[in-house]
A = this chain, B = another copy of it.
Amino acid sequence: MMEDEEMNVKDIFTEMKDISELVLDLAYSSVFFDNDEIAEEVHELEERMGELNYKIKTMATLAVRTREGAEKISEILEVASASEDIANAAGDISNIIKRGFKIHPVILQALKEAEEKIAKVVIKENSNLAGLKIRESELATATGEYIISIKRGKKRIYNPDKETTLKVGDTLLVRGTEEGENLLRKICDGEINEWRN
């Protein structure tokens, strides 16, 4: 029983950590692209974090039977709460575009100069990427680009794992260098068909 509860805490905690790692990227990219859709996702992730933090607190309280157990679980709750703070801060960042003002040039400049950039690419019909699992695609190693999220129709997959299969029409939100982006774009367009070792 205890083990089962522990598992659940782990799953929730892992999701919170994953969201904390990607939500800031999304927030900055919503501002850089002046994209309401991405800003809306940041907002949804912020809400999800609130739910997860509530869940993990409840579970942790139920799971704890001893003083030592309470001390140990408090570490998890602190990191969980910090993860929620991060999502809230990201929400504040992407909120600035909701007002409809033009983004201040200082902000755009700072985002533009970053070594790593967020980009959006679509997998075209004749791309060899389609049908490959992320693991098989060797994209990260070959291009230095990381998939932050996949948009497939109305669905979005955040922090996709290595076993996720890429499909024609997927819109990838990626993070990497400009060189990597150019290479990935050619792979997604079907211009480059051989990139794996």
Contact = CB atoms under 8 A, between A and B. Distances in A.
Stoichiometry (number of copies):
2
Main secondary structure of the interface of A (DSSP, over half): helix
Interface stretch (A74-82, A149-157, A185-193): A74-82
A109 interface: yes
A179 to B, nearest CB: 5
A26 B141 CA distance: 22
Interface in A52-99: 71-73, 75-76, 78-79, 81-83, 85-86, 88-90, 92-93, 95-96
B92 A75 contact: no
15 contacts: A17-B28, A17-B110, A17-B111, A17-B114, A71-B101, A79-B107, A82-B89, A82-B90, A85-B88, A86-B89, A115-B159, A115-B162, A116-B146, A140-B180, A143-B144
Interface residues of A, number: 59
Contact of A177 (B81, B140, B159): B140
A115 B175 CA distance: 14
A21 interface: yes
Select the residue from A109, A140, A161 with max chain B CB neighbours within 10 A: A140
